[in-house]
Structure 1
């Protein structure tokens, strides 16, 4: 039984298959929402986010840490390097690279160097990058501004995928 205190473990093999089967449809749906800008989207995403976390356990997944890299702001680098007892320069040299195209500091390797692969827990959780702390950005004050983020994240994050699937179901039901 799935309850808020007992969310379902993520099966990454099944998730990958669902993404292969539905990614294009869900991305088209999000593009349609961007152009239509439906009323009530913010309220809906808050409701759906709550339902999503009742069903998904991130610690059984950690796909974001395995397949993606956060961007590290100057504040992140300063905070994390101090936590690790390093200078910001030494931290960047050891763990990061500068993406010239996007002008972002990113992890030099995947999975993330701070992910414990046995527990799927972050070894710097208390001081993790702001990008990680906000991920997967499910409900924000202006949900319309995050639909492009969801388009990317549905491929990596079962919670995002689930939320977008639920949004699509609700809009289809309300348009009947």
Structure 2
């Protein structure tokens, strides 16, 4: 395991202010080639991190459930859309559907997702370490760096490469 990942959660808490400032600066540097680093760093991170050993995302945050997600998942579960919403979802402050409670009701004790094949788009894209969203939403990336070891890893590697 990479030294970066040793006690990563404590490091993420200790570096909160520094990482928040770095991500804000990084957002203004878009177009400077920084995003080209993401695919390789994403692959490097996931060579060392097994999501099934972690599951922090499913245990602590909720994806947005968009209309196509709701239709697809309700059908998969053999439920009507309204029943699915009433059973599992609530509307958050951004007017998005999210799970009522954490951990996610579809997360098993083995960290496997019972709806993996039809999971929400947000779940499939998380943790955004291989896309421009990593820079586009610095507040979310910063928050994710305290939840997901891959985000923390990629963030630390970018900081080292940029000498910032």
Fold similarity call, TM over 0.5: yes
Greater share of strand: 1
Q: CA deviation at 1:40?
A: 1.4
Tell me which of 78, 82, 85 is aligned to 1:89: 82
Q: Report what 2:97 is aligned to.
A: 105
- Does structure 2 retain, via aligned residues, the 8 Å contact 1:80–1:127? yes
Given that 1:63 and 1:156 are in contact with CA atoms closer than 8 Å, whether structure 2 keeps it comes out as yes
Q: CA RMSD in A?
A: 2.0
Aligned residues: 162
* Equivalences for residues 1-176 of structure 1 within 5 A: 14-37=7-30, 39-99=32-92, 101-117=93-109, 119-141=110-132, 144-172=135-163
Q: Write out per-residue CA displacement over residues 91-138 of structure 1, whole angstroms, 9 at most, x where no aligned residue.
A: 000101112x20100100110000002x11101000001110110011
User: Structure 1 pair 50/146, CA: closer, same or farther in 2 (3 Å)?
Assistant: farther
Paired with 1:26 and 1:141, the residues of 2 have a C-alpha distance of 17
> Unaligned regions of 5+ residues in structure 2, if any?
none
- For 2:71 and 2:156, the matched residues in 1 are separated by 38
Q: Please tell me whether the aligned partners of residues 129 and 151 of structure 2 are also in contact (alpha carbons under 8 angstroms).
A: yes
TM-score, normalisation: structure 1: 0.85
Offset from partner CA, 1:73-92 (integer Å, 9 cap, x none): 01100000000000000000
CA contact (8 A) 1:52 1:159 kept: yes
Where structure 1 has 5 or more consecutive residues not aligned to the other structure, the ranges are: none
Mark the CA change 1:64 to 1:37 in structure 2 (over 3 Å): closer, same or farther.
same
2:131 alignment partner, SS class: coil
Normalising by structure 2, we get a TM-score of 0.90
